Structure 1
Amino acid sequence: MNSPPPAATSNAHPPCLVLGIESQIGVAVVRELGRAGVRVIGLASRPNSVGLSSRYLERGIVVGPKRDAQLIATLHRLGEELGDAVLLAVSEADLSWLIAHRDQLGRIRAIAPPEDAFRRVLDKRLTLETAAGLGLHVPRGFSAATLDEWHAAAAQVRYPAVVKWADPITAIPVLRAHGIAWEKLEYARDEAALRRIGERFQAAGIWPLIQEYCPGRGLGQFFYLHKGEVLRRFQHLRIAEWPPEGGFSSVCDAVPLSRHRELQEQSIALLKAIGWEGCAMVEYRLDEATGDAVLMEINGRFWGSFPLAVHAGAGFALLAYQVQGCGVVPALPAVREDLRCRMVSTEVKRLVRLLLQPGRIADPFFRRQPLQEVRRFFTDFLRPRVRYYLWRSDDAGPFFADLRNYALRLLRR
């Protein structure tokens, strides 16, 4: 158990439970709430979860990885002990579980989006169909229900092609049951490669989406919607990703809200059409040479680069707690738009791939710039406007816990 910081001793607000403190996302949620004076109780899946080391936790509880009747019983006991309390979750899987069980949690108020809107966001096909109907640029794609349909699509798509799952939460257990590894993204350079990818899934009887390749960087636009009104917006541009050809941000820059205004309004229209409530990230692939932005997906949760939004003062987790948890719409300060945020351990992995393992970069159009990447990696340490996903001088515990976990993983290998 951690000793709470002085700011966390206030009893003016109900406590907040945070489910899923294994990553930088959960740590950032804990810090944002704790620094605002909210009593935070962290619910961890593993004893080595980095969030357990945060000084902004009043208490950390290891509940294990299962989401079952035992967790419901634990939440009931916490409700009896704490009184009315708010519960935030980090992952899509946990949000899905909360939506299904939020009426069974006693005095714990689970904050989650409307069920129908969440299902539409989870299913990328439905998201893209809705977006196309609103005039947003979406990638040309194909879906298949049989191997024959997959082969037919392989004969029509433009190459290279990208393969991704429309609904990973549904697909992962089916693939696991058939001993098939789940990949977030795969690339096919030609028809033969795409046919081989599709044949891997024949035993499971389900197939991912096939989409045209879209060049550019990841542009994330973030919003907090309440009863159809936008209370907060923020956006960032991915400077570096892991894996290098596309995945999640290892380095990202805040982007002034004066930029991409029309695209922001299109994103908001899409979220309203879906019926969204709360936090969401609308992700695009931005071709900086042409200015064209292609919609990739919506993340209906706190996102991987969430620490940047916390450093910038956007307050998305605090908004969820205050608005949906306490029924209070607060006055909002201006956000900083001049910050960069980075995950150094992920950057190191990225440099190893770029310098020593270029053959493992799946994107055939990815342009390696090793010298520029190395120079940026080191000069970022000297820039005063750079912040970090895990390191904070006032809360160093999660950073050192991450180093410990990394060292233990290396020893096991």
Structure 2
Amino acid sequence: MKDCLVLASIASRKSIAVAKSIKELLKLRVIGVAHTNHPHVFSRYFDKVHIVRVDRSNIRWVYAVLGIAEEHHCRAVLPIDFVDFYMFSKHSKLFEELSIILISPPHESIVVASNRVKCWETLGGIANFPSQLLLEREDNIENVYRLRPPLVVKNLGDNSNPTFHLDYETAIKDALSRAPVLVQEYVEGIARGYYALAFNGTPLLEFTHQRIIEYTPIGGASLGAQGVVKDPRLFELGRKIIKKLKWNGVIMVETRYSDEKGIYYVIELNPKFWGSIDLPETLGYKFSALLVALHLYGYNYALKLKKKLKVRNSSFVWLLDALRYIPKMPKVWLKLVNICMRSPTQCDIDLTDMPRCIDQTLKAFQRFKREKNNWIQYLDRSREQLKIWLDRYRKFLLNPSRVVVIDFDATLVRLPIDWNSVRRSLIKEGIIYPWESINRALTRYWLTDKELYHKLSELVKHYEFSALNNIEVIIPLKLIEKLRERTKICIATKQPVEIVINTFKSLGTKNIFDNIVGRDSSWGPIKTTLFKKCVELCNAEEAIVIDDKIDYLIDAYRLGYTPILATSNSYLVAKSYRLGIPSGEPEKIINMLLEHTLSYATKEP
């Protein structure tokens, strides 16, 4: 008889990828245990399924899974979700007494990795974390004022339940209502993860990914992701962490990457299977099978299996899981459909596992009303923060010493440049690293080597000049001229000033801006510097900043300016709205400013 393994709980989207990996590579019988009725109980990837309706945080769950393992004469139990890892490892002696192998890190390791404060204290010397503090009671409220809004309030454990705040008062009120909590400065950036299967603090198998779409626009598990992210700094960060923790087992390091700063901020560690496990598994990175092999057959056997793996790069979308977007943002779901159509095997629709897929689809449709209500709550939670933004907006309208700072490319106009092609050319010439963006390279050289900075800037300018004959105007220039009658306007752009001036010449118009600050203005390419120079040159006391990048707008808010996101992307609109930052199409933003600057003397905006 084949060796037998119990997976618990399979009422988790991760369980299918885990079961497939183990069956394909190790040919084991897989027994699934679910704590509730779930589409996965119909999957063909489980040889036998048990449903045990008990609270997984109760020891009865441990006894139930052990009983099923004994019934089927299984050698080992593999947890799936965090609560499974936590509870089984906590009661690991029960497994030892029955000679059943528990495939899990030690309980003490899980506690350290999952506790945000302990993790921060342990890894602070080797990893960057958002500026943050532990708020336990009212007597350390004053410390919150050392942080810079926007702020995030999070629970300490696996269920972080984050809330977002543009001011101190709402953040403190929320934090005290559920203390102890972690209060962090919000970090905007590219969501990237480092995965590892480690043995004694050394990675046996590694993978990195980047999220495309998340459960909600502000964050959550992946609904679309791609990998591998070939940035050696991310691999280096992950390796340092698992070495410091002397980690054994699977772990994910969740980060936010600031492209301009070139910094990876550690958001949390996940000492369990991660929600996007399907992505590496379908690309040949068989984490699940190697983990089981390591525990059942030893390190050398697992190492031999690893050497046989054939891996590749691609994306994966959870199309069935993403049905939740249909009642709220159908365009997001259609975007994932397009990705799935390009790579049909890289999504969670499995034609060989139709009973599970059909049940999952039916349950998704049944949840539509609940999803819509959740979406309404998501939007409602933003209203209080929008009121805070509105207070700052009123100050701008009331102050005659003001300036509108506006981005150039993708906000005022659109330069028809294939930036991916430009980047490949620059990599080929050896002037930027294969893993970095042009934006990051410009900032890096500005801070380290001015000569190379100017060389790169000139190379990029060649492509920018070639695009001048086909520029698309996003905001009609007549609107800009009207707005300039009521407020000063300054362009803050990563393009050279020369490109901006020649753009308006090609459009047959004069310079209609008070100032233009670009990457060649002797102040470099860093957006916060460009914003500040605009305000300084215009001698303004209040400023509105219009940009198409949320991370730059977060920086603008921390400088005391009033940010507005320029975009027609509904996903980004919902994300910025949750932070309390309004957004819209650039032309509509200018029309709003025209209306309010004209009428504010007699009525509220």
TM-score interval, normalised by the smaller of the two chains = 0.7 to 0.9
Paired with 2:333 and 2:110, the residues of 1 have a C-alpha distance of 40
Query: Which residue does 2:570 correspond to in 1?
Result: none
Q: Check 1:74–1:148 CA distance in 2 against 1; reply closer, same or farther (3 A cut).
A: closer
Paired with 1:81 and 1:312, the residues of 2 have a C-alpha distance of 34
Counterpart check, 1:22 vs 2:11: yes
Q: Check 1:334–1:81 CA distance in 2 against 1; reply closer, same or farther (3 A cut).
A: closer
Q: 1:381 aligns with which of 340, 348, 364?
A: 340
> After the TM superposition, which of the residue ranges 187-196 and 340-349 deviates more from structure 2?
340-349
Note the 1:4-403 alignment, pairs <5 A. 11-12=1-2, 14-36=3-25, 37-46=27-36, 48-67=37-56, 68=58, 70-105=60-95, 106-134=98-126, 136-149=127-140, 151-168=141-158, 184-201=161-178, 206-256=179-229, 259-327=230-298, 328-329=301-302, 330-332=304-306, 333-350=308-325, 353=328, 373=332, 376-384=335-343, 387-388=346-347, 390-403=348-361
In proportion to residue count, which structure has more helix? 2
Paired with 1:378 and 1:77, the residues of 2 have a C-alpha distance of 42
Q: Deviations over 1:76-120 (max 9, x none)?
A: 544444335111111111111111222213132111102222111
Q: Is the 8 A contact 1:380 1:386 kept in 2?
A: no
Paired with 2:328 and 2:171, the residues of 1 have a C-alpha distance of 24
Q: Deviations over 1:241-264 (max 9, x none)?
A: 1210112211100125xx221331
Q: Counterpart of 1:233 in 2: which secondary structure?
A: strand
Q: Is the 8 A contact 1:145 1:207 kept in 2?
A: yes
Q: Check 1:188–1:57 CA distance in 2 against 1; reply closer, same or farther (3 A cut).
A: same
Q: Is the 8 A contact 1:225 1:232 kept in 2?
A: yes
Q: Counterpart of 1:143 in 2: which secondary structure?
A: strand
Q: Is the 8 A contact 1:338 1:385 kept in 2?
A: no
Q: Deviations over 1:153-176 (max 9, x none)?
A: 33221010111122246xxxxxxx
Paired with 2:334 and 2:50, the residues of 1 have a C-alpha distance of 42
Displacement of 1:283 in angstroms is 1.0
Paired with 1:154 and 1:350, the residues of 2 have a C-alpha distance of 35
Rg larger in 1 or in 2?
A: 2
Q: Check 1:50–1:385 CA distance in 2 against 1; reply closer, same or farther (3 A cut).
A: closer
Q: Deviations over 1:49-81 (max 9, x none)?
A: 222111111100012233455445444544444
Paired with 1:348 and 1:407, the residues of 2 have a C-alpha distance of 8
Displacement of 1:306 in angstroms is 0.9
Displacement of 1:397 in angstroms is 2.8
Q: Report the TM-score when normalising by structure 2.
A: 0.56
- One-letter amino acid matched to 1:186: T
Q: Deviations over 1:344-389 (max 9, x none)?
A: 245444465457xxxxxxxxxxxxxx7xx5773342233127611x
Q: Counterpart of 1:387 in 2: which secondary structure?
A: coil
Paired with 1:377 and 1:31, the residues of 2 have a C-alpha distance of 23
Q: Is the 8 A contact 2:152 2:162 kept in 1?
A: yes
Q: Is the 8 A contact 2:129 2:267 kept in 1?
A: yes
Unaligned runs of 5+ in 2: 374-605
- One-letter amino acid matched to 2:118: L
> After the TM superposition, which of the residue ranges 402-411 and 123-132 deviates more from structure 2?
402-411
Q: Check 1:191–1:325 CA distance in 2 against 1; reply closer, same or farther (3 A cut).
A: same
- One-letter amino acid matched to 2:10: I
Displacement of 1:207 in angstroms is 2.5
Q: Check 1:152–1:314 CA distance in 2 against 1; reply closer, same or farther (3 A cut).
A: same
Q: Check 1:71–1:215 CA distance in 2 against 1; reply closer, same or farther (3 A cut).
A: closer
Unaligned runs of 5+ in 1: 1-10, 170-182, 356-369
Q: Counterpart of 1:155 in 2: which secondary structure?
A: helix
Greater RCO (CA < 8 Å, at least 6 residues apart)? 1
Q: Deviations over 1:188-215 (max 9, x none)?
A: 11112212312423xxxx3310111111
Q: Deviations over 1:250-281 (max 9, x none)?
A: 1100125xx22133122112112112101110
Q: Counterpart of 2:219 in 1: which secondary structure?
A: coil
Size of the aligned set, in residue pairs, is 363
Q: Counterpart of 1:303 in 2: which secondary structure?
A: coil
Q: Is the 8 A contact 2:33 2:51 kept in 1?
A: yes
> After the TM superposition, which of the residue ranges 276-285 and 394-403 deviates more from structure 2?
394-403
Percent identity for Structure 1 against Structure 2: 21
Displacement of 1:301 in angstroms is 0.4
- One-letter amino acid matched to 1:17: V
* Aligned residues: CA RMSD: 2.5
Q: Is the 8 A contact 1:157 1:212 kept in 2?
A: yes
Paired with 1:382 and 1:263, the residues of 2 have a C-alpha distance of 30
